Amino acid sequence: LDQTILEFTVGNDHVLDERLAPYDVAASQAHVRMLAKCGHLSTSDAEATCQALEALGKSHDEGAWHVSLEEEDIHTALENRLGDLGKRIHLGRSRNDQVLAALRLYMKDAIARIGEQVESLAEALDILAADQGSLPIPGYTHMQRAMPSSVGLWAEGFAAELRSHTLWAAMDLADRNPLGSAAGYGTPGLELDRAQTTQELGFSETQEPVTAPQLSRGKAEAALAFALTLILQDIGRLATDLCLFASQEFAFVRLPDEMTTGSSIMPQKRNPDVFELVRGHSAQAPARLLAILAVTAKMPSGYHRDLQLIKAPLFDLIDTAEAVLEVMTHAIPGLTFDPAKTQAAMSPDLFAAQRAYELVQSQGIPFREAYQKVASELADRSAASHG
Amino acid sequence: LDQTILEFTVGNDHVLDERLAPYDVAASQAHVRMLAKCGHLSTSDAEATCQALEALGKSHDEGAWHVSLEEEDIHTALENRLGDLGKRIHLGRSRNDQVLAALRLYMKDAIARIGEQVESLAEALDILAADQGSLPIPGYTHMQRAMPSSVGLWAEGFAAELRSHTLWAAMDLADRNPLGSAAGYGTPGLELDRAQTTQELGFSETQEPVTAPQLSRGKAEAALAFALTLILQDIGRLATDLCLFASQEFAFVRLPDEMTTGSSIMPQKRNPDVFELVRGHSAQAPARLLAILAVTAKMPSGYHRDLQLIKAPLFDLIDTAEAVLEVMTHAIPGLTFDPAKTQAAMSPDLFAAQRAYELVQSQGIPFREAYQKVASELADRSAASHG
Amino acid sequence: LDQTILEFTVGNDHVLDERLAPYDVAASQAHVRMLAKCGHLSTSDAEATCQALEALGKSHDEGAWHVSLEEEDIHTALENRLGDLGKRIHLGRSRNDQVLAALRLYMKDAIARIGEQVESLAEALDILAADQGSLPIPGYTHMQRAMPSSVGLWAEGFAAELRSHTLWAAMDLADRNPLGSAAGYGTPGLELDRAQTTQELGFSETQEPVTAPQLSRGKAEAALAFALTLILQDIGRLATDLCLFASQEFAFVRLPDEMTTGSSIMPQKRNPDVFELVRGHSAQAPARLLAILAVTAKMPSGYHRDLQLIKAPLFDLIDTAEAVLEVMTHAIPGLTFDPAKTQAAMSPDLFAAQRAYELVQSQGIPFREAYQKVASELADRSAASHG
Amino acid sequence: LDQTILEFTVGNDHVLDERLAPYDVAASQAHVRMLAKCGHLSTSDAEATCQALEALGKSHDEGAWHVSLEEEDIHTALENRLGDLGKRIHLGRSRNDQVLAALRLYMKDAIARIGEQVESLAEALDILAADQGSLPIPGYTHMQRAMPSSVGLWAEGFAAELRSHTLWAAMDLADRNPLGSAAGYGTPGLELDRAQTTQELGFSETQEPVTAPQLSRGKAEAALAFALTLILQDIGRLATDLCLFASQEFAFVRLPDEMTTGSSIMPQKRNPDVFELVRGHSAQAPARLLAILAVTAKMPSGYHRDLQLIKAPLFDLIDTAEAVLEVMTHAIPGLTFDPAKTQAAMSPDLFAAQRAYELVQSQGIPFREAYQKVASELADRSAASHG
């Protein structure tokens, strides 16, 4: 292959593929055992191949080797390193189902891991609510003081929303075994036992018919990106609140100095950069979702090389989500709400709706009438204070 | 309110709101009955209000009235038309939870309806597979003929993917009762029975704490838009295939004349416009998802008027998805695959992998060796035919 | 054509097309005159057709007729209404170049009009700066008080950015005459004078070669959408500032009551809904740009019916931009900055950099050293005030 | 700074910044000379600093040092390496204007370079048109054979569209000097000569007022991303055509073997991966544009740390565009159109419009009548051939 073409087509795929090594090892082992079970490979060859794969996975994990540009991807890198054994294991398997199997096993792990991180962040918010939750703060609508709220209601709203994630919808789409669909049209003339790899790899089902796996490319990926987008958007809104609360005008919350940065020319500054970057990352998440969806849009059925480009935005978004979740879980315990400043913000206006409810209940008047009365009282009071 | 400001802030919201009428009627009735049960409203007032709402819903459904620009939204339109009764029912309820309740009830209906439409389209593909499925067609990868496939494998791949939708993830997020959260901070000083409206309206749960509903604005909407995006993308790829298959070069499929359009200057043309527009609509779906996500991105917690802008892209996408599903379910039965043309495309090369599998099984050689042998055979044959 | 297919393929195109009537009239007149000049049409027929078109344009403008669903688009609506004259004018013209010509003439007008609106808004900011510009306000970085600024610097920054728009880049792409490219491959066998319609319609150039116009579909549209996106983003950031400045915590600015809205349950509220909606609309602009780009992405060359779907997001965005520009130009003069509140926010810390500059100039020490000194002074003062 | 926070806030910024080294060197030298000219720095210090910067730029270019995570960015890396000299040069400059100056100088270079690459690709298409342009191919609309076209018209349409790029609109926004705006509010108490750095760095103008530069963050970047999106979309459509033309069904074009890839299981395959990846990259460009726009959306005025996140999608898109332009300019000369296959596709129907034009001209009948006649002739012929 022409060198310019090679470099362009591989891009940084060989680097991205590093994280798929353990999953391709596992999927290849399952495939090899299935081949042996079906009589397409001798038991001794299968055993030897599985052991060789195990060793390669281990040495890769220890950093002993990397995928080179010429190898193009982790799959070729492993196959080449298997030597003669490698020549037999591509029977009944195409790059198309192999790549997808490794990617789905990776996604399943990532989803489970991120699910735990989300729960950890929610727990950090629970603890904040338990510790400082009784402090009153205004509840805002339209960024205007509206109703009495509290640090607890504020933190627990976010905790509840974080826990309402849709990661499991992504899991559902990822949890289907593509192995045995080969290039996307099965293996005519070669009988395989797809249920065997499904079971061994812990997939919930075998994806049928054989044309479905390549049509489904990008869908579990997009569903995961979408779930992460919603999670990041919740966290981004939390960060926006914190940037606001950390301003001198609100001054509800303080961050420890070691969590803020200074300025290159204004020595007095303590900036909440961490929350700004969280906000920025959350805002970019939809762009990554879009980068995934754009690849498969309008694509004729069957495999196309464009699909390779799904990995970069997916991995970026997974890494970003993990970093954001980690740093927020780390930062939340550092927040200290200021009782004096929050109390000072509890202006009497915040209790206007409550006052109207009281009038309704004590005087039996309709709410709209009570609302008008309270509005008049407030107008009078305001006139008096400016009079 | 200043007229320029009024017209700008209302926009076409009063028109969009028309479809929410039955849902606001139902949610208001549930709210009213709950108020009565809690002793905040007399039983007779509650009864009268529920009947009046029922009548208003009916007359709206019959086209007897519409929401005017001055009323701004369906909620004010209904409340105003209730006269004195309307003055009592805003007790313990804010526009914020009221709007969200109606929207979620609407979404639940839309999700159920679209779920059925998706199944109908999948069934149309099943029937196509049953009727013409045994016709062989090439399976393509990289748009190159790759493996033997069939009309059945082609149609059933799409049917399976359509049935793997994520509408239920959207349902899960939509199926939570926001009523009683009021402006987003509950109703201090007024005890409500939120479980009562949850049960009466058929929501699966009461959304807690009271700060969660406004934080969750846009999330069920985005999840529905995402589910529709994946569904439309499957259908868009089906349409791309059909545009290709309908070209003179492929000529696999014919559409009845009444489903194609002519040209303004080229009398010989029969164009598959319907599939092109399906493809175009599918490509635009992510933009609508993005329009929803953009509203809530970086938003401080609490209600903001920006949230009004979620409705337009959501309703557009729902309407588009329903129209696309309907027209495709209508068009699929009109497809006729051409046995002569499809058979002519079944070039011998398509069976190369199968030939390699045979060599592996008959000669016990590794797959890579068999692959080389078949490659040589093909090269020889090709040289001979050009020789 | 099958009714279901017709309704789907037309969609709301006949409604969208209403605004193109005057442009299709003008382009058709130019085409007719060119045909006459080339000898393909008698002068009397040309004259009669031009007059009939003029009359149709006038009656449409007066609301005397509308495009019906069955007519599908403005072009057929006009052609049909021309009767026998209409049968001759499609010579040397296809729907493909005709649609594009009308759309480009419309865009050119819209660009010029919006350019003026942008200037009007910038002027409103100039006036604000002239009237209240000397009031000091803090300049913020990271939403932290950073440096001394003023209402004037704040307003003039936005005015300058608004004036740095890229509308003219969109104009450049729109200002090319597609007429004569017909379906996208010219008019073999029929000689036309493309320069004639270019000149008569005021296009800067004739778009060459004939394959270019259909390849360029969506590009001027996208460039206009992009220019509007940047303009709206500037205005959206202005709106964000104003929502912040209107909060009780900042309280820098007041809006007249008739420009704010109240709350359905909190009688004390005055909400800046207009700025929230401006912010929301600005956030959705990229989605419309994306909806345009999505149509032409990956499209094979030549005309495809998908292109029809470019109009809706383009017109939506143009209308939104015009509405936002109008309402902001209307609202800005209503802003009153509060001298007491803004002055109170001018904390001494804001002058720290200035103090460091003085030390550098008076003592000749390096800036980093001066910076450290001021930092120490501030720390001492802070310790003293809390001591 | 807390290590977790540091690692999160820096991210991979220190790696991204490597490419900005020469531009920060140049901008710092200009700033230093300006300080000297204004009397804020001794001539000897200025001279020494400029020489030290030059040496640092050279050693960085040779790979002698890299920006470390702890240094965070290229600016600190350079300042630290200047030792005592570095302590004086931050006078009258903030990270905010410094970062922006380097980024804009980088963008100006990138724009100029890409402009040349675009011209090179257009020239490759010119050469293709000159060499093989006279070969007839069908012109398609709706992917249906429509009109006679040629390889020349096909290639020259793309060349013309490539040359109609909007890179210069991005140049216009980038070509403004932010230096002297400091943190975004100028340098009160310190007089600078902004015109001096504008001239020395070759900017077209000094950006005024001082609040404008930070408000304009992301705009030149977005304009460049938009220009690249349109360029990539043109190229993506060219790639789509080529994937179609390379199919066995069209078979219009052949690629040399060294530019295509084989299959892991189908030995007969020659896949045009390079064009598929070009198509995929073109489809992802809008996502990168969106990632840039998302950062500044709704942002309050002034600098915020989120802005750091603009660099990654911008650099990615620039690199992608350069790689795509390079590989396409390399691949186009390898294309060979097949005279037999293209000729075979020139079906008689393609000349129907031309035949109608002849009827109009020879018989003086209206076009619509001629159109009907030709349609009837075609129907008769078709009936005869099937009869």
A168-223 confidence digits (pLDDT tens): 999 999 999 999 999 999 999 999 999 999 999 999 999 999 999 999 999 999 99
Percentage of chain D lying above the pLDDT 90 cut? 87
Residue D116 to residues A7, B163, D316, Cα–Cα distance (Å):
22, 49, 19
Residue among D263, D304, D376, D382 flagged as catalytic: D263
Choose the catalytic residue: B44, B142, B301, B385.
Answer: B142
Joined tokens for residue A125: 């918010």
Residues B247 and B133 sit within 8 Å (Cβ to Cβ) = no
Q: Give the whole-angstrom CA distance, residue C238 versus residue A113.
A: 40
Q: What does the pLDDT average to over A9-26? A: 97
In the residue annotation, B263 being an active-site residue is answered as: yes
DSSP B337: E
> Measured between alpha carbons, how far is D325 from D323 in angstroms, rounded to an integer?
5
Q: How many whole angstroms separate alpha carbon B15 and alpha carbon B7?
A: 13
Q: What pLDDT sits at residue A381? A: 81
Which tens digit of pLDDT belongs to each residue from C213-240?
A: 999 999 999 999 999 999 999 999 999 9
Say if residues D255 and D335 touch (Cβ distance below 8 Å): yes
Residue C298 has its nearest CB partner, among A272, A298, A353, at: A298
All chains having 3 or more CB pairs closer than 8 angstroms to chain C = A, B, D
Residues in chain D, overall count: 387
Cβ separation C361–D222 shorter than 8 A: no
How far apart CA B114 and CA B120 sit, in angstroms, is 10
B-D CB pairs within 8 A amount to 107
What residues in D contact A192, CB-CB < 8 Å?
none
**C-alpha distance from C300 to closest chain B C-alpha (Å):** 11
- The pLDDT value recorded for residue A127 is 98
**Can you state the angle between helices D194-201 and D95-132, rounded to 10 degrees?**
30
Q: How far is CA A45 from the centre of its chain?
A: 40
DSSP B261: B
Beta bridge partners of A205: A176
Structure-block tokens of residue C341: 């509140």
User: Rounded mean pLDDT of D72-91?
Assistant: 92
Catalytic pick among C142, C264, C362, C386: C142
Burial class for A46, CB neighbours closer than 10 Å (0-12, 13-18, 19+): buried
CB pairs under 8 A between A and D: 156
- Alpha carbon dihedral D95, C377, A337, A145, in 10-degree steps, equals -70
Cα separations in angstroms, D294 against A280, A286, A316, C240, C278: 8, 9, 16, 15, 16
CB B110 within 8 A of CB B27: no
| Catalytic residue (one of A42, A68, A134, A263) | A263
Whole-angstrom Cα distance, residue A250 to residue C77?
60
Phi, psi (degrees; rounded to nearest 5) at A271 = -105, 140
Question: In whole numbers, what is the pLDDT of chain A averaged over residues?
Answer: 95
Q: Cα separation of D328 and D159, whole Å?
A: 12
Q: Quick one: B365 exposed, middle or buried, by C-beta within 10 A (0-12, 13-18, 19+)?
A: middle
D partners (3+ CB pairs within 8 A) are A, B, C
Write the residue in C147, C290, C368 that is nearest to D286 by C-beta. Answer: C290
CA distances from C255 to A142, B15, C118, C273 (A): 14, 28, 22, 11
Residue C216 in contact with residue D381, Cβ under 8 Å? no
Backbone angle region of B366, left / alpha / beta, with phi > 0 → left and psi within -120 to 50 → alpha: beta
Per-residue pLDDT at D386: 65
- What percent of chain A has a predicted confidence (pLDDT) above 70? 98
- Is C143–A265 a contact, with Cβ atoms under 8 angstroms apart? no
C153 CB neighbours in chain D (<8 A) are: 185, 209-211
Q: Which residues pair with C148 in a beta bridge?
A: C138
* B331 and A163 Cβ atoms separated by less than 8 Å: no
Facing D8 at nearest CB: one of A9, A297, A327? A327
DSSP A300: P
Q: Is C219 on the interface with D (CB under 8 A)?
A: yes
Residue of higher predicted confidence among D70 and C380:
D70
Q: What is the structure's pLDDT at A386?
A: 65
User: So what's the ipTM on this one?
Assistant: 0.97
Per-residue pLDDT 10s for chain B (387 aa) are 899 999 999 999 999 999 999 999 999 999 999 999 999 999 999 999 999 999 999 999 999 999 999 999 999 999 999 999 888 888 999 999 999 999 999 999 999 999 999 999 999 999 999 999 999 999 999 999 999 999 999 999 999 999 999 999 999 999 999 999 999 999 999 999 999 999 999 999 999 999 999 999 999 999 999 999 999 999 999 999 999 999 999 999 998 988 998 877 676 678 999 999 999 999 999 999 999 999 999 999 999 999 999 999 999 999 999 999 999 999 999 999 999 999 999 998 899 989 999 999 999 999 889 988 998 888 888 777 765
Touching A (3+ Cβ pairs <8 A), the chains are: B, C, D
- Residue D268 predicted with pLDDT over 90: no
Give Cα D387 distance to the centre of its chain: 56
Least CA distance to B379: which residue of chain D?
D268
- Return the pLDDT at A376: 87
A51: Cα separation from own chain's centroid = 34
Sorted by sequence, the CB contacts under 8 Å of residue A303 that are 6+ apart come out as: A96, A183, A184, A214, A217, B141, B142
Distance CA B247, CA B272 (A): 9
Hey, is D336 helix, strand or coil?
strand
Please give the Cα distance from B382 to B273 (Å, whole number): 39
Residue C95, φ and ψ in degrees, nearest 5: -55, -35
Contact across the interface for D248 and B347, Cβ inside 8 Å: yes
Contacts of A96 in chain B (CB under 8 A): 141
Tell whether C382 lies on the interface with B, counting CB pairs under 8 A.
no
Which chain C residues contact residue D303 at CB under 8 A? Answer: 141-142
- Judged by CB atoms closer than 8 Å, whether chains meet at B246 and D356 is answered as no
Interface membership of B19 toward D (CB under 8 Å): no
8 A C-beta contact, residue C176 and residue C207: yes
Residue-wise pLDDT for D140-181, tens only, equals 999 999 999 999 999 999 999 999 999 999 999 999 999 999
The whole-angstrom distance between A354's CA and the closest CA on chain C is 9
Q: Which residue has the higher pLDDT, C192 or C90?
A: C192
- The predicted pLDDT at position D90 comes to 86
* Number of Cβ pairs < 8 A linking chain B and chain C: 156
Minimal C-alpha gap between A286 and chain B (Å): 7
- Of B371-385, C106-120, D44-58, the one with minimum mean pLDDT is B371-385
Asked if B249 and D345 come within 8 Å (Cβ–Cβ), the reply is yes
- Picking from A145, A269, A273, the nearest residue to C248 by CB comes out as A145
C146 contacts in A (CB within 8 Å)? 263, 266, 269
pLDDT of residue B380: 84
Exposed, middle or buried, A10 (CB in 10 Å: 0-12/13-18/19+)? buried
For residue C306, pLDDT beyond 60: yes
The CA-atom distances, in angstroms, between B357 and each of A42, B231, B362 are 16, 36, 9
Q: Which residue has the tokens 């391709």?
A: A24
> Residue A269's pLDDT is what?
75
Interface contact B284-C304, CB threshold 8 A: no
User: From CA D62, how far away is CA D5, in angstroms rounded?
Assistant: 32
Residue of A11, A94, A274 lying closest to D5 (CB–CB): A274
The minimal CB distance from A233 to the residues B86, B297, B368 is found for: B297
Residue at A157: amino acid letter? G
| Element at B281 (helix H, strand E) | helix B273-296
pLDDT in tens, D200-249: 999 999 999 999 999 999 999 999 999 999 999 999 999 999 999 999 99
Residue A387 pLDDT greater than 60, yes or no: no
Q: How far apart are CA A327 and CA A280, in angstroms?
A: 14
CB C179 within 8 A of CB C30: yes
Q: Which of B182, B281, B330 shows the shortest C-beta gap to C309?
A: B281
The catalytic position among C42, C164, C204, C263 is C263
Subunits next to B (3 or more Cβ pairs <8 Å) are: A, C, D
Residue D387: predicted pLDDT: 56
Instruction: Give the mutation candidate from D301, D317, D373 for the C interface (greatest C CB count, under 10 A).
Output: D301
Specify whether the backbone of D66 is left (phi greater than 0), alpha (psi in -120 to 50) or beta. beta
Is some CB atom of chain C closer than 8 A to the CB atom of B69? no
Work out the minimum CA distance from B100 to partner chain D, whole angstroms. 24
CA distances from B239 to A300, B122, B276, B278, C330 (A): 9, 14, 7, 7, 47
Asked if D173 lies within 8 A of C164 by C-beta distance, the reply is yes
Q: Which residue of C has its CA nearest to D213?
A: C157
Closest by CA to D255, choosing from C238, A9, B328, is A9
Q: Are the C-beta atoms of residues D90 and A265 closer than 8 Å to each other? A: yes
Number of Cβ atoms within 10 Å of the Cβ of A380: 11
CB contact under 8 A, B94 and C265: yes
Q: Do A183 and D266 touch (CB under 8 A)?
A: yes
Token pair 């969200």 is found at: B100
Interface test with chain D among A179, A276, A288, A315, by most D beta carbons within 10 Å: A276
- Judged by a CB distance cut-off of 8 A, whether residue C245 touches chain D is no
Q: Do A237 and B298 touch (CB under 8 A)?
A: yes
**pLDDT for res B387:** 55
Distances, alpha carbon C67 to alpha carbons A338, B263, C12, C17, D21, in Å = 64, 20, 10, 8, 60
- The secondary structure element, H or E, covering residue B139 is strand B136-141
Q: Is C263 a catalytic residue?
A: yes
**Distances, alpha carbon C241 to alpha carbons A193, B242, C238, C246, D230, in Å:** 63, 51, 5, 8, 32
Alpha-carbon torsion D66, D72, D75, D76, what sign? negative
CA distance D83 to chain C (A): 11
